[in-house]
Amino acid sequence: MASLLPVHLPKPNPRFPIRTSSAATTTTTTTESLQERFGRKGIKFTEAGEVPSVELTVRNGSSLHLRIPDGLITSYKPKVYWKEDGFEEVLYTIGGGGPGDFPRGGLGLVLHDLSKTAAGGSPWGASEWIVKDADSDSFDAVQVELSCSNGDGSLDITYVVSLYPLSMATAVVVKNKGKKPVELSSAMLSHLKFKNQRGSAIHGLRGCSYCAYPPPSSTFGLLSPAEAMQPEPPNWLSLLSFSEDKKGKDWTVEDDLYTILRGKLSRVYAAPPAERSKRIYNTPPSKYTTIDQRTGLGFRVIRMGYDDIYLCAPGSLSQRYGKGYFICTGPASMLVPVVVNPGGEWRAAQVIEHDNL
Amino acid sequence: MGLLQFNSPGISSIPITSSFNYNSKSLRPLHLPNQVSLERRKLFAISTNTTSGGSESTDVASEEPASIDFAFVNVRSVPKSLPIFLCSTSCRRCALLLQSKLLPDGTPDVQYRSACGGQKLRDIMLDNNIDLYGPYDGPLLNCSGGGTCGTCIVEVVEGKEILSLRTDKEKELLKKKPKTWRLACQTMVGNKDSRGQIIIQQLPEWKVHEWEK
């Protein structure tokens, strides 16, 4: 039947499955079958521009939007004000509107297997996700579990996304089913939204040592590693030198109670790898809070299982991406690879919660 | 499937105090601050040659300058313990400061520090950015080390032999409290060349689990 249709087909419209190409039809049935198998109260499988995705909602109205194939959370809107429609979008995402338009930003998991290199010479990264399970208690907790496996089945990776009234959690569990130990480098990067550049800061990193470091490369990151490390073009701000990163891999200890995010920076807050071989070393904080002076909202990011905290602020580069300001932050284990032995398991998670209510 | 047992006490709105009796066999036997082995994946082998119980290892510590290891266990502000993983993760023992609250998945939120002896516990905690005062952490909300306000309470889980004994001020202010509770501004931690490990529970009035003896 496809051969009878004219060559110049209009772009297939998922609303009219008869005319669409077979790929879109499969997507529609996949969404329906997903809804049938895994749909619960608070978990709804939909399609966002031909890409299957799932919408999680809890009783107080907080919602979360997760794209299934790439495991990217494109929207998290918790209830932050007591008024009727008091939801505020926490994540900064661009794109993803129409088919073929790949969204960037949001919240995503970066997981690279450093012991195995993919075709292009770069390490294998977890990228194709399918829904494994879903659970909800129909009031205040919903959860979706995605799974991914690498080519030869030696790694079993599960990504659990949960939504609660005042928080949301993303967790990763990696099981090594192969015969050799694997080395992983991982991060959970969230692009958090701020009203504007001037009133954004982070509280809770004082006393932790940091050094300038590029972000892990990912498909959804707004700033590429090279862009993140470029110094800000000199202007009057740099004369005031807000949070300027020293060149090179020098480790400094954060002195300020509030880390101002006005200038451009890309850092990892962690215990220096050289320290980790000592018997005891200062651990980085397990949580930190973002402060947005304009909206008055703060969100706490909790790190579990990860060793480092990655923080990046685009400075004036944010104007390239649209209105408003954003930062890219999250727990990571990128300085020192995580070793998972055969038969072993590694778990790590991030929780974003707030007490703005 | 074992997605995250939603019927587990963590998820429903049970008050946190009842649901949590953290089994101390996960937290108690304080092995030498084998900090790295306490976490699940170990990258660098730490040479500790002590096995159990002992608080000092002269072999390991002899090359380093004398210092005391601290594990501070924190209290978090979220009342619920949320099931984050498929099943609860195994405990993370920490040698020094224990924050009294737990991380969302039920493991204790620990911070490790190292400090020289011969100082007050309050100074060690404040210098190392450990939350001592909690809600009383403001300009006029505490007595800044005077021993009169009683807001710098900590609980000593392990290592009390290194600390000085309770002073009269403490005995007065902490009359009705458990014997393991101390005022950090009155507690002197050993002397300049002490070695050992101490586990401190921050803000014990807000803690959600019990340390079994």
Residue B206, SS3?
A: helix
Query: Are A164 and B60 an interchain contact pair (Cβ–Cβ within 8 Å)?
Result: no
Q: What are phi and psi of A44, to 5 degrees?
A: -130, 125
Q: Could you read off the pLDDT of B34-74 as tens digits, one per residue?
A: 343 333 333 333 333 333 333 333 333 345 677 788 888 87
Q: Is A40 on the interface with B (CB under 8 A)?
A: no
Residue of B3, B78, B96 with shortest CB distance to A353? B78
- CATH of segment(s) A31-96+111-180: 2.70.98.10
Query: From the candidates A37, A280, A309, A354, which should be mutated to test the interface with B, based on the most B CB atoms within 10 A?
Result: A280
Domain count, chain B: 1
Give the pLDDT score at A348: 92
Q: A151 or A309: which carries more pLDDT confidence?
A: A309
CA distances from A57 to A28, A43, A44, A142, A240 (A): 22, 7, 8, 7, 44
Q: pLDDT tens-digit profile of A340-351?
A: 999 999 999 999
In chain A, pLDDT over 90 holds for what percent of residues? 37
> Could you report the predicted ipTM of this complex, rounded to two decimals?
0.77
- Pick B44 or A318 by higher pLDDT: A318
Distance (Å) from the alpha carbon of A313 to chain B's nearest alpha carbon: 24
The count of other CB atoms within 10 Å of the CB of residue A284 is: 23
Nearest to A347 among B3, B60, B85 (CB): B85
For residue A128, name the pLDDT band (cuts at 50, 70, 90): confident
Query: Which of B149, B211, B137 lies closest to B174 in space, CA to CA?
Result: B149
Residue A303's pLDDT is: 92
Lowest mean pLDDT among A62-66, A331-335, B80-84: B80-84
N-to-C CA span, chain A: 57
Please check whether residue B126 lies inside any domain of the structure.
yes
**Considering only CB atoms, which chain B residues are within 8 Å of A347?**
40, 85, 89
**Is the CB of residue B84 less than 8 Å from the CB of residue A331?**
no
pLDDT of residue A116: 72
A241-254 tens-digit pLDDT: 555 555 556 888 88
pLDDT in tens, A256-283: 889 998 888 899 999 998 888 888 888 8
Q: Rounded to whole angstroms, how far apart are CA atoms B180 and B166?
A: 10
- Where, residue-wise, is CATH 2.70.98.10 in chain A? 31-96+111-180, 187-342+348-353
pLDDT of residue A230: 83
Query: CA-based angle A151:A154:A156, to the nearest 5?
Result: 90
From the candidates B1, B3, B67, B76, which should be mutated to test the interface with A, based on the most A CB atoms within 10 A?
Answer: B3
Give the domain CATH number at B102. 3.10.20.30
Task: Measure in Å the smallest separation between the Cα of B142 and chain A Cα atoms.
Answer: 20
- On whether the CB atoms of residues A222 and A318 are closer than 8 A, the answer is no
Token pair listed for B135: 């809600």
Q: Is the minimum CB–CB distance between A283 and chain B shorter than 8 Å?
A: yes
Residues 6+ positions from A320 with CB-CB distance below 8 Å: none
Kindly report the average pLDDT of chain A as a whole number: 83
Residue B8 lies in a domain: no
Residue B113 lies in a domain: yes
DSSP B44: S
- In chain A, % of residues over pLDDT 70: 85
Contact A286 B113 (CB under 8 A): no
Instruction: Give CA angle at A22 (A18, A23), nearest 5°.
Output: 125
The C-alpha of A218 sits at a distance from chain B's nearest C-alpha, in angstroms, of 24
Closest CA to B130 of B110, B149, B157: B110
> Residue B130: is it exposed, middle or buried by C-beta count within 10 angstroms (0-12/13-18/19+)?
buried
> Given a cut of 80, is residue A207 above it in pLDDT?
yes
Q: Which domain holds residue B190?
A: 97-202
Domain A187-342+348-353 of CATH type 2.70.98.10: yes
pTM, 2 dp: 0.77
Arithmetic mean of pLDDT, A224-235 = 79
Question: Residue A135 is nearest to which of B3, B69, B96, comparing CB atoms?
Answer: B3
| Cβ-nearest to B82 among A164, A280, A346 | A164
Contact A153, A177 (CB under 8 A): yes
pLDDT band at A298 (very low <50, low <70, confident <90, very high): very high
Secondary structure element (H or E) that encloses residue B72, with its range: strand B68-74
CA distance B175 to chain A (A): 33
* pLDDT, greater one: B67 or A185: A185
Is a pLDDT exceeding 90 seen at residue A309? yes
The answer to whether position B75 is within a domain reads no
User: B104 vs A280: CB contact, 8 Å cut-off?
Assistant: no
Q: Which residues of A touch B9 (CB under 8 A)?
A: none
Beta-bridged to residue A53, according to DSSP, are: A46, A67
For chain B, list residues with pLDDT below 50. Answer: 1-62, 77-82, 85-100
Residue B182 lies in a domain: yes
Torsion of CA A288, A291, A297, A300, to 10 degrees: -10
